[in-house]
Amino acid sequence: MLFFFNLCLIALSLLLLDSRSAIILSVLGFIALIVKFPEKVYLWGFRAVVLLLPASTFIAILLSSVLSGSLSESAVARNDTDIETFANRTIIWGAVFDVYSSFDVDHLFGFGVKGQVNSGVAEKNHQIFIKREDDYKSKTVHNLMLQSLLDIGYVGSFFFLVMLLSLNFKHSDYSKLLYSSLGAMLVAGFAEASPMIYQSELFYIFIVLVIIGLRPVSPQRANGMSNALS
Amino acid sequence: MLFFLILINLLYKWGSLFRGSIRVNKRGFSLSLIYIFVLQLSIFHAYISEVLQLDEFLKYTFFVIIAYGLAISLFIIKGSSNFSNNLDTKIDLFFKSLLIFVILNLLLFFLGVENPHIIFEFGAGDATILNSFGFELKRVFFEYFWCYMCNFIFLFYSEVEDWKCVIFL
């Protein structure tokens, strides 16, 4: 009874949040928990998400051009004038691509937190956030890797990706759950600047998951796995 | 950058002193340390280039260092001794650490930092991760509830226009 009450509460909250990505990811998360894939599927699925992160914006722009003007595009838009739809994100990302099209030393180490301000991207996107005149500078570029490039540059972003690839949850009996959780956060990074310090609580959860992923495989668990295999 | 490299080198040597007493994936640990320091440097960079005001600088610094420090101390140091591999224990720790984290934010707020960041962030990302943890809905409801209660304290002191966070409770 309590289970269904909580389920309804979460469903209601998701609808009230008016966030399509949260709804999609929640459904995917739920499927990942219910369907029993082999552990390797979760591990390689997670790694695939990490490896796809740098290419995420290119994929999105490609999809955007394919869907341009079609029914599918209007289906993913919240309304005609909404500026934060999938299609309009590509305009914001385009401004970042412009900055990074010619090499500069700043690109190596980034422009610091809120890199969109120092890099001039915020000014270029000023018109998009015209309704939010006061805080357009604080608007992120709605993509984890692009925001990462702006903030900490190529070097920092490289360390970020390698750190993610070095994580494993093999030591845990709940590895599938942990892969799914961290994977879901990174998938959200395709359309949002998360998990970054701009979303503080989410960043904290991210750090906790990273820390859990730092633990090596315990000898007992490794033995148990080899015994199970043999 | 030179300062950064020296710092990393020192930290690596410092870390080697504890090798063996803390059971971690050493490569991952070093990388996570580097990532945290890069983040901290980017915060400092933004401050000296006047993108961040002093209170924002303190807020982000506090955030990165406390978040990482708290997570490390709860999960790694605890993990080095007699720490169970049971996720239940970890989830317990996770919620308790989150509660500590919210209280620390609260302290920061009373120390004069405006909008210490946490209340406005409960939203889509939160829902996503909670649903990924959805296997333990009872725990989410009962234990996370206290975190939201702490946030209610903010409501009485902040000008919150978006009441979705309250409804989400």
Q: Which ipTM did the prediction report?
A: 0.79
Q: How confident is the model at residue A77 (pLDDT cuts 50, 70, 90)?
A: low
Percent of chain B with pLDDT over 90: 5
10 Å CB burial of residue A182 (0-12, 13-18, 19+) is: buried
pLDDT band at B138 (very low <50, low <70, confident <90, very high): very low
**pLDDT at residue A125, rounded to an integer:** 75
- For residue A79, count CB atoms less than 10 angstroms from its CB and return exposed for 0-12, middle for 13-18, buried for 19 or more: exposed
Hey, which of A81-90, A163-172, B159-168 has the most confident mean pLDDT?
A: A163-172
pLDDT at B13 over 60: no
Report the range of poorest mean pLDDT among A99-108, B5-14, B58-67: B5-14
Mean pLDDT score across all residues of chain A: 73
B158 SS3 class: coil
Q: Lowest mean pLDDT: which of A43-47, B59-63, B73-77?
A: B73-77
Q: What is the pLDDT of residues A102-131, one digit of tens each?
A: 888 889 999 999 888 888 888 887 766 665
| Cα(A110)–Cα(A155) distance, integer angstroms | 8
- The per-residue DSSP string of A67-83 comes to HTTSHHHHHHSSSSS-S
Interface of B with A in 79-138 (CB under 8 A): 79, 85-87, 90, 94, 97-98, 101, 117-118, 121-135, 137-138
- pTM passes above 0.80: no
Of A61-70, A138-147, B106-115, which range is least confident?
Answer: B106-115
Chain B residue closest in CA terms to A2: B138
Segment B66-77 mean pLDDT:
67
pLDDT value at residue B98: 56
Least confident range of A160-169, B57-66, B94-103: B94-103
Asked whether the predicted pLDDT for residue B148 surpasses 60, the reply is no
Q: Which of B3, B23, B95, B131 is the best residue to mutate to test the A interface, defined by the most A CB atoms within 10 Å of its own CB?
A: B131
How far B28 CA lies from chain A's nearest CA (Å)?
5
* Choice between A29 and A186, residue whose per-residue pLDDT is larger: A186
Residue B146 scores a pLDDT above 90: no
Question: Is B24 in a helix, a strand, or coil?
Answer: coil
Q: Greater confidence, A68 or B58?
A: B58
Query: Nearest C-alpha of chain B: how many angstroms from A135?
Result: 13
Average pLDDT, chain B: 58
Based on its alpha-carbon atoms, the radius of gyration of chain A, rounded to whole angstroms, reads: 20
Dist CA B24 CA B18 (whole Å)? 11
Please report residues of A whose CB lies closer than 8 A to that of B63. 197, 200, 203
DSSP structure string for B85-114? --HHHHHHHHHHHHHHHHHHHHHHHHTT-S
